[in-house]
Structure 1
Amino acid sequence: MKNSIRNMCVLLVLASCSNDDYQPISYDNPEITLNIPEGFPDLNITATTNAPTTYGVVLGKKLFHDKRLSADNTIACASCHIQANAFTDNLSKAIGIEGRVGLRNTPPIQNMAFMQFYNWDGNKLVLENQPLVPIITHEEMDSSILEVIGKIENDQEYIELFNKAFGDEAVTNDRIFNSIAQFEYTLISANSKYDKVIREEGVTFTKSEAQGYQIFKDKCISCHSTELFTDQSFRNIGFPINTDSEEGGRSRVTREVDDYLRFRVPSLRNIEYTAPYGSFGQFNTLKDLLDYLDNGVVDAENLDPILKDNGNKISLTEEEKTHLISFMKTLSDTEFIGQ
């Protein structure tokens, strides 16, 4: 009789542990207040609707560094987006699993919360939709989101983090993408020497930097405008052409002939750390890039008017190039790159 009662109690305990009323522990997961620098554009809409939270960012950062997102567990987002290089890789073209070479240069991922387009051709308008691209691309991670979920859904660390970030333990594609985006929204760079000068924090430009700033305002600011140092437009500025037949620039997205070889104007912030330059790393140094613009660019029907109206070039003396490079280096944010 005693054994029967004991067995019945064990069954009741087991049943109570597995019934549908079980609720996981809930955690406080406050939103993170983004420190929006003065003069920056408004946050994009998804940085507001998918606002970073304490655990969402922790989860996103862990996923960002997890090589299990790739088919052979060798490539993470952080493999190409290296913080010390302002989240680029210093390669002409990105390298994926098995040494596969991608189509384009790895872009930096700073100040994404203020951007309206992502990738060189702007094929993504929402940052939450971007992480799937490298996951499924043959030359990058060559995996699938279902494969990624299968690898991590039984990982106890992830189970706990998904619960903390989203209120239960379900590992879903949307939660993966949302948390990675939340982490990337926190990557704000606005503490360079330039920023400290503008904020009048007792820092001043050197003579060369000040002259470079004036040259920049005279010859560069039409494209590299706003405190992001990009107007986020798409332009053909006559750079050497990628020999890869898959390349079409913005026209790959719009299917418009006039968008052929137009690319999103890159930000100049942290440009000191992001060599080589151009959509497929055409230029090894800033001097190489400025020399090219000075000597004359590749002509095209849709060449940007700024160049077309000036003999297909941006004329610069050697002294101006030196000063301009000095100024561009004031956009380096050592805190952002972890130094």
Structure 2
Amino acid sequence: MRDKLAPVVLWFCAFSGILSSAVVQSETHEWALSEVCPAGFQEREGGCYLQSFYSGYKSLRESGVGGLKTGLPALREGFSAQQIDLGRLLFFDPLLSVDGDMACSSCHQPARGFSDGLGGSVGRHGEVMTRSAPTLWNVGFLRELFWDARADSLEEQMQGPLFSSIEMANTPENLLASLQQDANYPALFAQAFGEKPLSLEQVYTALTAFESSLVSLSSRYDLYANGFHEVLTQTEIEGMNVFRSFVARCAECHTPPAFTNQQIAVIGTPELEGMPRDPGVQAITGDASQRGGFRVPTLRNIELTAPYMHSGRFKTLRDAVAFYTGGRGHAVPEGEHLSLHWHIWEPDLADHELDLLVAFLKTLTDQSFMPVLPQKVPSGLKPVATEFLTY
């Protein structure tokens, strides 16, 4: 099967830009930013723009819920190759934290699908957070960020962990001074933004540019959706049919090709043993109907990002999909009143159907456009979490 599919995969990847030199470039110049757009992107009018089969599908609903020929949400794009590459270096550089020991990649590790493999991320002094770190794959398509959707942009979102006293714990003033006084960063910012004074806004733009370049659209599912039907096994196709069915109703919230409808859903997932109910979006809006509500996450690379749910309550994909067939509100504790999302009901899926769902979800694994992971960063500090495991 591998030999049979090789020409198809090569053709698909070449179309998408995976053979771009940006993926295989070596850092031959001492801190010269790349002038080549990352894999999957093409330079146009001075910016990098995504090239994708899905770009030709204009309607998000033209094929119905879960249809194969639906379009993508708008992507944050148009950043220059230099801005993206600068963001890549900043992302892995612990200079961005107050003590020089944490980076963005501490909680968003390439080897774990740009999450961290924990139910609750760990803070600078070992504090365990109450929520897991979501994947950054396809984050540039999202309208709202954080589990509770409290940020409207990547620029706003990143300031949370950068300046949180229990995460990277920096201050805007110290972060700016650290970069301005570094031996290499001022010249790199000049390459990316021109001869303007180095500013925090440039830092946020560069990180946004890099994170928006983390696109995952070349999975075996994507090959199937775009006409190469032999790439999925019969078991995986049957799992996709369960996923899209009006019995399971998975695709109503995890709508392809983004595999999220970007809405808030109250599903009644249980908290970890002994933990209080996380109010979710209610804590932001004050709306009691949004108690326990969280942003619907993408399922892209879901195989790599265990444990699952906002608190990491389920260790395996099988456990996670089984939750949905347990009956409406079955995990809501007595005395807790949640306005469960309308699609949470009792599909009563059989064990073999749950296994089919898991098989299908694994076809969404794709890290073809993994960026070059720096083995050194401009600050001279040790880059964080630059290991990449092949699955």
Q: Shift of the alpha carbon at 1:236?
A: 0.8
| Offset, 1:187 | 0.7
SS of residue in 1 equivalent to 2:252:
coil
Aligned to 1:179: 206
Residue 41 (structure 1) aligns with: 72
Question: Which residue of structure 1 aligns with residue 24 of structure 2?
Answer: none
Q: Which residue of 1 aligns with 2:19?
A: none
Q: Which residue of 2 aligns with 1:320?
A: 353
User: Which stretch shows the higher mean deviation, 319-328 or 203-212?
Assistant: 203-212
How high is the sequence identity, in percent, across the aligned residues?
A: 30
State yes or no: 1:87 paired with 2:103: no
Kindly indicate whether residue 123 of structure 2 is the aligned counterpart of residue 96 of structure 1.
yes
CA contact (8 A) 2:281 2:292 kept: yes
1:226 positional shift: 3.0
Residue 251 of structure 1 pairs with residue 282 of structure 2 = yes
**SS of residue paired to 1:130:** helix
Indicate whether 1:264 and 2:304 are aligned. no
Q: Report the alpha carbon displacement of residue 34 of structure 1 after superposing the two structures with TM.
A: 2.1
1:335 aligned onto 2:368: yes
State the AA in 2 paired with 1:35.
Q
SS in 2 for 1:116: coil
- What 5-or-longer segments of structure 1 have no aligned partner? 1-26
Per the TM alignment, residue 111 of structure 1 is displaced from its structure 2 partner at its CA by 1.3
Tell me the TM-score normalised to structure 1 length.
Answer: 0.84
Query: Number of paired residues?
Result: 305
Contact 2:216 2:367 in 1 (8 A): no
On the 8 A contact 2:35/2:82 being kept in 1, the answer is no
1:144 maps to what in 2?
A: 171
Shift of 1:99: 1.1
Q: Distance in 2 between matches of 1:81 and 1:214?
A: 32
1:251-294 Cα offsets, whole Å, 9 max, x none, are 12212111111001111111000000000100000111123222
Write out aligned runs for 1:1-20 (5 A): none
In structure 1, C-alpha distance between the alignment counterparts of 2:53 and 2:129, rounded to whole Å: 34
CA–CA distance in structure 2, aligned partners of residues 246 and 168 of structure 1: 50
1:106 and 2:122 are equivalent in the alignment: no
- Per-residue deviation at 1:318? 0.8
Amino acid aligned to 1:306? H
Contact persistence 2:280–2:292 (CA under 8 A): yes
Contact 2:88 2:210 in 1 (8 A): yes
CA RMSD of aligned residues (A): 2.1
- Over residues 137-175 of structure 1, what are the superposed CA-to-partner deviations in whole Å (9 max), with x where a residue is unaligned? 222112212111122212232111110111125221111
1:238 is the counterpart of 2:238: no
Match of 1:68 in 2: 95
Tell me the CA shift for residue 124 of structure 1.
0.7
Q: Per the alignment, do residues 42 and 317 of structure 1 end up closer, same or farther by CA in structure 2, a change over 3 Å counting? A: closer
Partner of 2:255: 225
Does the CA-based 8 Å contact 1:235-1:264 persist in structure 2? yes
> Which 4+ stretches in 1 moved above 6 angstroms?
none
Counterpart of 1:19 in structure 2 is: none
- Separation in 1 of the partners of 2:201 and 2:284? 23
C-alpha distance after superposition, 1:87-138 (max 9, x if no partner): 0111111112121212210000111222111111111111111111101122
User: Which of 327, 343, 348 is equivalent to 1:306?
Assistant: 343
Q: Distance in 1 between matches of 2:347 and 2:281?
A: 23
> What residue identity is the alignment partner of 2:189?
F
2: distance between equivalents of 1:84 and 1:37?
Answer: 26
Q: CA deviation at 1:37?
A: 4.3
Match of 2:146 among 119, 122, 139: 119
TM-superposed deviation, 1:232: 0.7
8 Å CA contact 1:43, 1:114 repeated in 2: yes
Indicate if the aligned counterparts of 1:52 and 1:186 stay in contact, CA closer than 8 A: no
**Given the two structures, how large is their TM-score scaled by the length of structure 2?**
0.73
Unaligned regions of 5+ residues in structure 2, if any?
1-33, 37-45, 55-69, 371-387
